[in-house]
């Protein structure tokens, strides 16, 4: 993870707001991740948050005094100054009460005053019981905050307080931290995230086609590029559905993750999620073929050579998406992991694939033993159905992801302009 962005005169200032939920203890881990990566962090808890984690803990971990009210250090005008000087405000956990106050502009303590004066990006990481998260009042408040430009991460699904389980769990601190780093990387000018109000679907990973109970046909895709697309979209304000095929990476904070195994599973999940989505990005490495039959027991090694493996073609999901768009403005993006051969280089094959699939954009990256798969960086050429070709140089997969979303956003603008 990159350290805090800094110049000769500036280290990124982060305000960590903590509201009064049982998940407040996890914010200590989030604070540690910020400080260890060089960020200057000021913790602003609510009075109820201090019932869960005391002020000495926050002061010790941040190296700064901790206050909750507007009457502390009044000569420094903290209720205005803290928000004005911040490069990022993140509230984790954000309770239903805190979201309601932020949405309606109430300012009855230092944290809510800070939210009103902040002119930088603001990230909320909600945590509450399922019924509270799903209540229409909370959903309206979340919609209001997102419309104003805040990034509100969807909570994770899992064990809550007591025996309850469901959506409402605070995402893991590492994933919240990564989301915040991506938000900061977009700049601290306070402008609304450009994907706010959009629902995007991203596929990631590699499908597995079973031969028998223990063997499968697969590929080397780790899912890193698809996950980078999901995290960057979240940082830019989008609602993200991530269809993950056999990926061992942590879920991006705020994404709805649907796990699949085979190409058929992925097709079902993507087509369902694509209904009403503004964009679908097929970054998963989908098997072109599958075994004609799957043996119910493990194939044994015999004295003779095995029978030849018969394969059948899998459905072409990208072509199906392009041919059956759910709206006039839906953007369909494909990925093509290519190698050159006697018929042409990777770009030649990519141009042919773009024409055959009918997608709006095709991201062509040349793969091999030391590039593309299972690496944190990537290089590609983004081909457009309008004949455009844009090269994205070798760099972090998040940089390629941002370039893809830039092209998608321009397609939306052209369709509605």
Predicted pLDDT of residue 149: 87
CA separation (Å) from 96 to 89, 103, 124, 377? 18, 11, 11, 38
Please indicate, yes or no, whether residues 127 and 224 belong to a single structural domain of this protein: no
Q: Which residues of the chain register pLDDT less than 70?
A: 1-10, 69-79, 187-192, 368-374, 417
The CA distance from 18 to 92, in Å, is 5
Number of domains in the chain: 2
> What pLDDT, on the 0 to 100 scale, is given for residue 189?
45
What domain range includes position 211?
199-416
- Active-site positions read 219
Q: Is residue 190 part of a domain?
A: no
Same domain, 161 and 230: no
Q: Is the domain of 261 the same as that of 350? A: yes
- On whether both 376 and 252 belong to a single domain, the answer is yes
Asked if the structure places residue 2 within a domain, the reply is: no
**Pairing mode of beta strands 88-94, 122-126:** parallel
Q: Which of 108, 114, 107 lies closest to 83 in space, CA to CA?
A: 114
- The pLDDT, as a whole number, for residue 132 is 95
Same domain? For 258 and 347 the reply is: yes
Considering only CA atoms, which of 207, 263, 262, 255 is closest in space to residue 229?
255
Rounded-to-10 torsion of CA 58, 62, 64, 67: -30
> Do both 134 and 206 map to the same domain?
no
**Is 204 in the same domain as 294?**
yes
Tell me, yes or no, whether 281 and 237 share the same domain: yes
In a domain, 228, yes or no: yes
- Rounded Cα–Cα distance for residues 4 and 48 (Å): 30
Task: Find out whether 253 and 176 touch, Cβ atoms under 8 Å.
Answer: yes
pLDDT for 193: 80
Q: Which residue has the tokens 């939210």?
A: 115
Handedness of CA 205, 195, 103, 35 (dihedral sign): positive
Q: Which residues of 130-149 are buried (b: 16+ CB within 10 A; e: fewer)?
A: bebbeeeebeebbebbbeee
> Does some domain include residue 152?
yes
CATH number at residue 256: 3.40.50.10300
- Is residue 119 domain-shared with residue 216, that is, in the same domain? no
- Considering the domain architecture, whether residues 156 and 212 belong to the same structural domain is answered as no
The answer to whether residues 146 and 254 belong to one domain is no
- Verify that 232 and 322 share a domain, yes or no: yes
CB atoms inside a 10 Å sphere around CB 277 = 25
The model's pLDDT over 101-133, given as tens digits with 9 standing for 90+, comes to 999 999 999 999 999 999 999 999 999 999 999
Considering the domain boundaries, does residue 6 fall inside one?
Answer: no
Q: DSSP alpha helices (H): ranges in 275-390?
A: 317-323, 346-357
Q: Judge whether 192 lies within some domain.
A: no
363 within a domain of the structure (yes/no): yes
Position 94 in a domain:
yes
Cα distances (angstroms) measured from residue 236 to each of 81, 277, 342: 26, 16, 41
């Amino acid at each position: 993870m990159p350290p805090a962005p800094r110049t000769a005169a500036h280290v990124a200032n982060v305000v960590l707001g903590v509201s009064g939920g049982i998940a407040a203890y996890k914010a200590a881990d989030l604070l540690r991740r910020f400080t260890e990566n060089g960020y200057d962090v000021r913790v602003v808890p609510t009075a109820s948050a201090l019932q869960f984690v005391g002020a000495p803990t926050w002061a010790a971990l941040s190296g700064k005094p901790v206050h909750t009210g507007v009457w502390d250090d009044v000569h420094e005008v903290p209720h205005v100054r803290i928000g004005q000087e911040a490069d990022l405000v993140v509230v984790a956990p954000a309770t239903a009460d805190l979201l309601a106050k932020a949405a309606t502009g109430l300012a009855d303590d230092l944290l809510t005053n800070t939210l009103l004066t902040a002119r930088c990006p603001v990230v909320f990481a909600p945590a509450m019981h399922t019924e509270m998260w799903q209540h229409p009042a909370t959903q309206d408040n979340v919609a209001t905050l997102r419309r104003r430009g805040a990034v509100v991460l969807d909570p994770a699904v899992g064990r809550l307080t007591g025996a309850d389980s469901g959506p409402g769990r605070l995402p893991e601190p590492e994933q919240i931290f990564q989301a915040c780093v991506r938000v900061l990387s977009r700049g601290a000018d306070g402008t609304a995230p450009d994907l706010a109000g959009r629902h995007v679907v991203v596929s990631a990973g590699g499908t597995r086609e079973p031969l028998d109970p223990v063997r499968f046909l697969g590929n080397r895709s780790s899912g890193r590029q698809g996950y980078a697309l999901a995290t960057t979209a979240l940082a830019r304000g989008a609602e993200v559905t991530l269809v993950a095929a056999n990926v061992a990476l942590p879920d991006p904070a705020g994404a709805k993750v649907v796990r699949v195994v085979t190409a058929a599973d992925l097709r079902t999940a993507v087509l369902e999620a694509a209904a009403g989505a503004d964009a679908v990005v097929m970054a998963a490495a989908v098997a072109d073929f599958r075994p004609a039959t799957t043996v119910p027991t493990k194939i044994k090694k015999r004295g003779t050579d095995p029978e030849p493996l018969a394969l059948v073609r899998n459905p072409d999901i990208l072509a199906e998406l392009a041919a059956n768009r759910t709206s006039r403005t839906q953007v369909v993006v494909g990925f093509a992991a290519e190698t050159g051969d006697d018929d042409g280089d990777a770009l030649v094959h990519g141009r042919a694939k773009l024409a055959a699939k009918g997608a709006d954009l095709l991201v062509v990256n040349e793969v091999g033993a030391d590039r593309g798969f299972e690496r944190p960086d990537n290089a590609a050429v983004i081909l457009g159905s309008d004949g455009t070709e844009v090269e994205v140089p070798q760099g972090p997969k998040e940089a390629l992801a941002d370039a893809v979303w830039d092209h998608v956003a321009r397609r939306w603008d052209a369709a509605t302009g």
